[in-house]
Structure 1
């Protein structure tokens, strides 16, 4: 009996791959493996639970216990199309630590474990990803990252009609597809998404758009303050002494922690430590998830541009993190 692990993202393709594996290896040990960012749309959980039930396959869920915005706060870094540690830390590292090292994360839960045929399901397992021919650029990095495991991507090698598979099982597709999103990840808030993606988010899910707009703004303020406090480029005479730095950094954390962890509607009042400094070192730097050309393009600007004087944006700029395909999965940044 062989072991098969399907990386189960909550998307239609990963469900179709799970069906393909079960159809072709009905007597083998098959596990659906979901790494939860804790930032997903409520309907994603309905979809994966229903899929596990109707496929009659066990589903293992792992999570680091942080969502992307909490991770950004802890690292004092605003992720964007060039830096996406949420995928590396919350998905890739969690999965790699478990499958390669046997290390279990902060959160673990099973669904339908009664269908598990053998507890040693990670031994010599074949890993499956719901990558289709339109994402073949991800095939090479994924296979390289997961050596020495054998990696298969049935949707590249075989024609699979996702909608036909869903219809056969009588499962409704995730609501994010109904709303025009290209994937079912992070409730439409992917920090590597583009202008077209966020424009759609504003139109279809205005409350979610407003919340992520506010969070991006407060992250920018928090990171700017942190960078100023610790900036070694400031001349010695104007630099904050180390013992004062420690106090200020603790106050900064206290001011924002409850907000980013969902325990407060707004951050506590925090006076930017650079407020009285020389302007050259006091100005707040621009950080944002999106890029417009090579410049940061904050979600607030997208919002205000719409309200004031609409500007042309790239509606074909959809973007996305491409989880598990980062070529530097085994680099030091992934081991934070």
Structure 2
């Protein structure tokens, strides 16, 4: 009998993916696998509790034990939109270790909640999870917008994570995702200035050790340079 393992991130896409897997295969052999980065928004954990209760499936939690900035310090590399070591150490590796210990690739399918707009990522994800088979329920019809996914949760009595209501596109790392661009970090400064300042402090600590590096980049006159969060904040406040 097949085991079905959903990479359950706390985002709305992985929630809808879990709903589709449960509708197709039931919940007896369904695992919701969540990798905790230890910097998530408090409401993500509330959402996970409500969502798993609605499905009637316990949440399986894995955790490296470090935060993203602790990983950056350990590997001596500050994550950015292009390369984010935190994704590997805090999400991919703990989940893969769990799969190695508990899930036979011959009788297990892994599900990832990316949607049809991210089809270009599918080959890389499939290679990364080999030898486990990977499916992408949200990249298959019927295709849903994010708002339709949020409405689907509300219709089942599950309140969506508050970061979506606050204008974020993703519910990860409490909004302090190093893969985000300047627009989200400016929004983060307005919405959660305490978290922005915490990230700024951690970035400054790494800059003192690693040199002129930054999460963000700026491009002027054809030249790309690091854009520290402190400078982004000063520019925003001056404006």
Q: TM-score, structure 1 length as denominator?
A: 0.65
Distance 1:121 1:71 in 2: 27
The structure with more helix, counted as a fraction of residues: 2
Shift in Å at residue 98 of structure 1? 2.4
Distance 1:121 1:88 in 2: 19
Number of the residue aligned with 2:61 = 61
Q: What is the aligned residue count?
A: 230
Q: Say yes or no: does 1:305 pair with 2:238.
A: no
Number of the residue aligned with 1:81 = 81
Q: Say yes or no: does 1:286 pair with 2:221.
A: no
Q: Map 1:18-29 to 2 at 5 A.
A: 18-26=18-26, 28-29=28-29
Shift in Å at residue 28 of structure 1? 4.3
Number of the residue aligned with 2:206 = 219
Shift in Å at residue 193 of structure 1? 1.4
C-alpha contact 1:4 1:28 (8 A) present in aligned 2: no
Structure 2, unmatched stretches of 5+, are none
Deviates more, 1:177-186 or 1:20-29: 20-29
Q: State which of 187, 210, 233 in structure 1 corresponds to 2:174.
A: 187
4+ residue segments displaced more than 4 Å = 120-123
SS in 2 for 1:78: coil
Number of the residue aligned with 1:134 = 117
Structure 1, unmatched stretches of 5+, are 103-119, 225-284, 311-336
Q: State which of 149, 166, 176 in structure 1 corresponds to 2:132.
A: 149
Shift in Å at residue 97 of structure 1? 2.4
SS in 2 for 1:170: coil
* Cα distance, 1:172–1:305 mapped onto 2, change above 3 Å: same
Shift in Å at residue 43 of structure 1? 0.5
Number of the residue aligned with 1:206 = 193
C-alpha contact 1:31 1:121 (8 A) present in aligned 2: no
C-alpha contact 2:81 2:178 (8 A) present in aligned 1: yes
State the Cα RMSD in Å: 1.6
Q: TM-score, structure 2 length as denominator?
A: 0.91
Shift in Å at residue 81 of structure 1? 2.4
Shift in Å at residue 140 of structure 1? 1.3
